[in-house]
Structure 1
Amino acid sequence: MVEQFVGNWKLAASENFDEYMKAIGVGFATRQMGNMVKPNLVISVDDTGFISMKSQSTFKTAEIKFKLNEEFDETTADDRKTKTIFIF
Structure 2
Amino acid sequence: MKPIKHLYLHFQDGQRLALRFPQQSNDPLQLAQSLHRQLESPYLRLEVDGDLLLIPRESIKYLQISPAPSALPEDTVAGAQVIN
Q: TM-score, normalised by structure 1?
A: 0.29
Larger relative contact order, structure 1 or 2 (CA cutoff 8 Å, min sep 6): 2
More strand by share: 2
Q: TM-score, normalised by structure 2?
A: 0.30
